[in-house]
Amino acid sequence: MEKKNRKPYLILLAIIIFLLLIYFIDEKEKKELEVNKIYTIGILTESYAIVGDFNFRYTYKYNNKTYNGLNNSNKKWKNEIGKKFLLKLSYKNPSSSILMLNFPICDTTVVAPKLGWKKIPNHLICLDND
């Protein structure tokens, strides 16, 4: 096989390796988040669509530090900028988080404990999230 014919295969192989690497890093982060999870409150700051997905930006506090996060979903949500939702984060890596849009916080005056909750605070979740 000539060198010219190998180039497309090497490019394809590099792309496959890159995608596999991203996949395994993402899976490792998800597992780490699940093992070291803690809950706090996140505030939705922005939502927008990009190529069939919907991105959500949010802020949250943990251990007296403010963090910004970004999640995406294939499900469109109402424009609820400023609304509070439950947020799952890793206490070992607080910048690793997921805004839980299915768990809106009803009491707008509630403030999460400095180090969050170890379990989901069910008493704060809206039962009717229409």
d(CA 19, CA 91) in angstroms, rounded, equals: 28
Position 88 scores a pLDDT of 95
Residue recorded with tokens 């605070």? 121
Q: Which stretch of 19-28, 51-60, 73-82, 116-125 has the lowest confidence by average pLDDT?
A: 73-82
pLDDT tens digit sequence for 25-46: 878 887 887 889 999 999 999 9
Share of the chain above pLDDT 90, in %: 44
pTM for the full predicted model: 0.75
Burial 112-130 (b: 16+ CB within 10 A, else e): beeebeeeebeebbeeeee
- In angstroms, what is the C-alpha Rg of the chain? 19
pLDDT tens digit sequence for 93-105: 999 999 998 899 9
